[in-house]
């Protein structure tokens, strides 16, 4: 299950690229929605359709702002080695692989499943400061830290 020897700088670049791709996709979707709202013809339901489109654009823009904040947060993620779990650490447990960085969730890298979690998440809070061999339990799931990169 566990592949040893991940290159953290490559993983960081991969996460940055995933985030950039999500931003680009969302920007394109916002542009498409704006164009579509302009093309709505005057019909009896014109006002309600246009209002729904505007609400959708607003929600997408809020989501986009969150992604921009994540990009700024990634600038604080360090690539240096550490013996303790901290921001920027790649933590491999007996159950999963966690990249303490931003709240991006599950992704696949080099054929393996990873979870990008923010340092504010309950899971990261449980792990912060722990070292290899440390054990912790969250939501009745017991894990042991196998490696910290």
Q: What percent of the chain has pLDDT over 90?
A: 70
What's the pTM value of the predicted model, to 2 decimals? 0.83
> Where do the structural domains in the chain lie, given as residue ranges?
10-74, 79-148
The CATH class given to the 79-148 domain equals alpha beta
Q: Tokens for 71, please give them.
A: 């990009």
pLDDT digit string, tens, across residues 20-61: 999 999 999 999 988 887 777 766 677 777 788 889 999 999
- Angle at 74 (CA atoms; ends 19, 9), nearest 5 degrees: 90
Residue 71 and residue 23 in contact, taking contact as beta carbons nearer than 8 Å: yes
Task: Kindly give the residue spans of alpha helices, DSSP state H, lying in the chain.
Answer: 8-38, 46-74, 122-127
What is the rounded CA–CA span in Å between residue 29 and residue 44?
Answer: 26
Among candidate residues 87, 149, 145, the one with its CA nearest the CA of residue 118: 87
């Amino acid at each position: 299950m566990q592949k040893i020897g991940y290159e953290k700088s490559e993983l960081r670049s991969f996460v940055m690229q995933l985030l950039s791709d999500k931003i680009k996709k969302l920007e394109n979707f916002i542009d498409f929605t704006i164009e579509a709202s302009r093309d709505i013809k005057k019909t009896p339901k014109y006002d309600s359709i246009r209002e729904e489109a505007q609400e959708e654009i607003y929600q997408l823009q809020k989501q986009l702002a969150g992604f921009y904040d994540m990009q700024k947060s990634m600038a604080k993620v360090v690539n240096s080695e550490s013996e303790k779990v901290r921001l920027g650490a790649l933590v491999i447990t007996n159950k999963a692989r966690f990249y303490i960085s931003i709240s991006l969730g599950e992704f696949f890298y080099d054929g393996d499943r990873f979870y990008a979690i923010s340092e504010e998440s309950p899971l990261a809070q449980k792990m912060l400061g722990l070292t290899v061999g440390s054990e912790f339990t969250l939501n009745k799931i017991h894990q042991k830290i196998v490696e910290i990169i």
